[in-house]
């Protein structure tokens, strides 16, 4: 590794350490409530869309094309509207793989007559069996994965974008602090207006491109996380 790369890594680690030192004795700061589209990391969602269909003009018609009810629908439909996202995950997986392979081979060769040179070869050497090779290869592999996950969340999100086909891009986030431990809940995805229930809620399994994060930061999180030096050693060490 070049010296300047190592120096850069040390400087970056030092900057993170200085930021952490400034928070010693204080609770982790909470993110201020703000427009999610103003985040530098926010990017508008682009999806394949069907061709636009012109709406027909119906003279003297009481109902407009696309209307669902005589009264205004109170469910989320426009940018800035609030919709409640329900996350109820209960996943379980149990995988077990066993592989066993054995291979053995034996080869031998000799030169009984080689231009009469076998006469000068010592008697202890048998020209008929000069070369002999054998190999044995055994490979046994066992793998097992057992996973049980249960996550239940209920949090309100904001419609940040209305796609040309009417689908809604929703971003929901929530933070709460308990004993100097800041917990963060974030859900983003694309939903159909038809999947929003009458109580203005939508299930996570009706959300396309869903991104669900449940984490946090604080003293307990720090104890469960490897130090940056150990992480660097795990990446750089070849053994």
Query: What sign for the dihedral angle of Cα 75, 201, 80, 163?
Result: negative
The overall pTM is greater than 0.95: no
**pLDDT at position 194 over 90:** yes
Cα 79 to the chain's mean position, in Å?
27
* Mean predicted confidence (pLDDT) in 202-222: 86
Are residues 138 and 73 in contact, defined by beta-carbon separation less than 8 angstroms? no
Backbone angles phi, psi at 142, to 5 degrees: -135, 130
At residue 117, the 3 state secondary structure works out as: helix
pLDDT at 98: 85
- Distance, in Å, from the CA atom of 125 to the CA atom of 112, rounded to the nearest integer, reads 11
* Mean predicted confidence (pLDDT) in 9-30: 62
In sequence order, what are the beta bridge partners of 31?
none
- Distance, in Å, from the CA atom of 10 to the CA atom of 39, rounded to the nearest integer, reads 28
pLDDT at 4: 60
Are residues 78 and 109 in contact, defined by beta-carbon separation less than 8 angstroms? no
Q: Give 90's contacts (C-beta < 8 A, 6+ positions apart).
A: 149, 150
Q: Which residue has the tokens 């231009």?
A: 115
Q: What is the pLDDT of residues 64-111, one digit of tens each?
A: 655 555 566 788 888 888 999 999 888 788 888 888 888 888 877 666
Considering only CA atoms, which of 211, 206, 224, 204 is closest in space to residue 90?
204
Considering only CA atoms, which of 237, 127, 210, 221 is closest in space to residue 179?
221
């Amino acid at each position: 590794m070049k010296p300047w790369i190592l120096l850069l890594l040390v400087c970056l680690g030092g900057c993170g350490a200085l930021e952490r030192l400034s928070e010693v004795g204080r609770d982790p700061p909470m993110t201020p409530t703000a427009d999610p589209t103003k985040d530098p990391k926010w990017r508008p969602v682009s999806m394949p869309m069907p061709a636009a269909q012109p709406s027909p003009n119906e003279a003297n018609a009481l109902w407009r094309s696309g209307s669902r009810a005589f009264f205004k629908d109170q469910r989320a439909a426009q940018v800035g509207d609030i919709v409640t996202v329900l996350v109820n995950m209960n996943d379980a997986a149990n995988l077990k793989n066993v592989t066993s392979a054995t291979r053995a081979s034996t080869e031998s060769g000799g030169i009984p007559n080689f231009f009469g040179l076998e006469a000068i070869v010592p008697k202890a050497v048998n020209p008929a069996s000069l070369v002999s090779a054998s190999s044995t290869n055994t490979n046994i592999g066992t793998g097992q994965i057992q996973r049980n996950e249960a996550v239940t969340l209920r949090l309100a999100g904001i419609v940040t974008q209305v796609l040309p086909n009417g689908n809604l891009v929703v971003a929901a986030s929530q933070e709460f602090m308990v004993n100097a431990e800041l917990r963060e809940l974030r859900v983003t995805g694309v939903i159909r207006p038809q999947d929003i229930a009458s109580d203005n809620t939508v299930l996570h399994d009706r959300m396309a491109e869903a991104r669900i994060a449940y984490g946090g930061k604080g003293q307990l999180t720090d104890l469960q996380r490897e130090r940056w030096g150990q992480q660097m050693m795990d990446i750089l060490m070849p053994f």
